[in-house]
Chain A
Amino acid sequence: MSAATRDEWMTVAAARMLWNRCVCFVGIGLPSAACNLARFTHAPDIVLIYESGTIGTRPDVLPLSIGDGELAETASFVVPLPEVFSHYLQAGRVDVGFLGAAQVDRYGNLNSTVIGPYEAPTTRLPGAGGAPEIAAHARQTFVMLKASTRSLVEQLDFRTSAGYLDGHGARARTGATGDGPRAVITDFGILTPHPRSDELRLSALYAGATVEEARAAVAWPLLLAETVETIAPPSESELAILRALHARTREAHARPVVLPFPLSN
């Protein structure tokens, strides 16, 4: 089997952070791959919630959208969307929320709204979606993004979702009920917050990645945790399961859709 790509490292590293029976609010992309990899490996009874209202879903292929039909068909049950946000997320019934972002700052605050000023952006991003309230109310959040000095920035252009604000316990003085971003999973390794200052520090590297590589991809002066762990490479079986999942997914998304009635014009 070929060596793992950095995307695969990220997915496997995130999957390993999940545990069986944990209730996980899933986003599309790498988080969805990580959560389903966990389900197919060490966490068969993980409860996956997608914001479209599908609860306890067990898809065989990764959804392209947050509301693909397979998510509903394989769910334990499906609730209206307002209920997912009010009765489950806001009520504190989610253990882990996964978030992505265009920019993350050193205190784990996220921007997924605009690059440049809000009124005249140079790049208009998709926007908040569920992120601000996931960031507030999931018991903990994991952030996944590819590292560069444009994504791990000194100053956000816009704060879409609050992490630790200005650090040093500021989050505890807000109405947020969750503990905030406990890990930022990047393509060099993992950042975690300092227990007092809340500043994100390098706490783990993939085997083969270096501190220099990490520092070059972070725009603030990156501090190291007391120990920087080495993350074990994806195992043969993790990689085989992940690659099979991606292969099934590609095949499923390319399948032509047949409308169940004749067309005439």
Chain B
Amino acid sequence: MRLMPLREALAAHVADGDCVALEGFTHLIPFAAGHELIRQGRRNLHLVRMTPDLIYDQLIGMGCARRLTFSWGGNPGIGSLHRLRDAVEHGWPQALELDEHSHAGMAAAYCAGASRLPFGMLRGYLDNDLDKANPRIGRIECPFTGERLAAVPAINPDVTILHAQCADREGNVAIRGIVGAQREAALAAGALVVTVEEIVERLEPAMNGIVLPHWTVDAVVHCPGGAYPSYTHGHYSRDNSFYQRWDAISRDRDTFNAWMREHVLETNDHAGFLASLRAEAA
């Protein structure tokens, strides 16, 4: 593990065309890292996330993605992700291939990926059109009972990027609160980059808490506020009013582009992004 600045960590680990998962289920969404991928102009990414959320709306709208693996693509409690919709409905700014699942299917695929099994299995996708729309949803027969079950190929991203509360100097990462499928996405990946609110000398013994041990972590980045406008439990809460405002910002291509230029492309880093939002609010 190396403690690195965000720019260097992503330049070292994410290349154009990679399969990248920025996980975190509503909580701990790695916004700072997503913005840095946009600043670095990454292209043709295969993005993986259960809930694309605003960060993938931004990556898709900025033309970074060619393919999306996902299971629910809305703005939670608000409505549509307009950039995702524009890409699917009108191919703007480019066409987006969909690899669409249910939450249960994607969870099974991440678990298989973390275990380095070829596929995940569930009693799911029963009598619906998802398996007609997606050839990557298959069926397998149980060798013991004969029951037919759904099978989904394991998800093994080239790189998984997470945000977490803290890491110690060895690179052990502790996550608490709503953990989604972060642990599974982390252990499924070829490389793991984690941004954290703080670096501590030693983590408290975690007992049943979730720790990603240092030998599974490739880079740790100290990045306070790195999940904003998502949240980091124990540090700051979700900015629900920003999620509400995003609906208007993202609805129109020009408004979206102007917002991304001002707050992401023309800021140097995440501290600059946060400061630009604060300046606008003042």
Which chain A residues have a beta carbon within 8 Å of chain B's beta carbons?
A: 28-29, 51-54, 63-69, 71-72, 78, 80-82, 85-86, 89-90, 113, 118, 121-133, 136-137, 158-162, 165, 174-177, 252-261, 263-265
Contacts and interface: CB of A to CB of B under 8 A. Distances in A.
A64 B275 CA distance: 25
Given A52-B178, A53-B25, A265-B268, 13 more contacts: A64-B77, A72-B233, A82-B184, A90-B122, A113-B130, A126-B80, A127-B100, A128-B103, A128-B128, A129-B102, A130-B102, A133-B124, A159-B129
B178 A71 contact: yes
Given A132-B102, A132-B128, A175-B147, A80 B238 contact: no
Contacts of A64: 76-78, 238, 240, 243-244
Interface in B19-69: 25-27, 50-51
Interface of B: 25-27, 50-51, 70-74, 76-78, 80-81, 84-85, 88-89, 100-104, 107-108, 110-111, 122-130, 133, 147-149, 177-181, 183-184, 210, 224-225, 228-229, 231, 233, 235-244, 267-268, 271-272, 274-276, 278
Contacts of B239: 257
B33 to A, nearest CB: 17
Contacts of A177: 123
A137 B107 CA distance: 16
B241 A256 contact: yes
Contact of A80 (B27, B183, B224): B183
Contacts of B26: 52, 65-68
B150 to A, nearest CB: 9
Nearest to B229: A257
Q: What DSSP secondary structure best describes chain A's contact surface? A: loop
B71 A127 contact: yes
A69 B272 contact: no
A82 B107 contact: yes
Nearest to A119: B133
A63 B126 contact: no
List the 3 closest A-B pairs by CB distance, nearest first. A67-B26, A126-B74, A129-B72
B72 A265 contact: no
B148 A175 contact: yes
A138 B55 CA distance: 32
8 contacts: A52-B178, A82-B184, A124-B89, A127-B70, A127-B74, A133-B124, A257-B238, A265-B272
Contacts of A254: 241
B129 A67 contact: no
Nearest to B241: A254
A65 B184 contact: no
B179 A121 contact: no
Contacts of A113: 100, 129-130, 133
Identify which of B89, B183, B233, B243 gathers the most chain A CB atoms within 10 Å of its CB: B89
Nearest to A52: B178
Given A64-B77, A126-B72, A175 B27 contact: no
Contacts of B108: 82, 85-86
Contacts of B275: 263-265
A154 B228 CA distance: 44
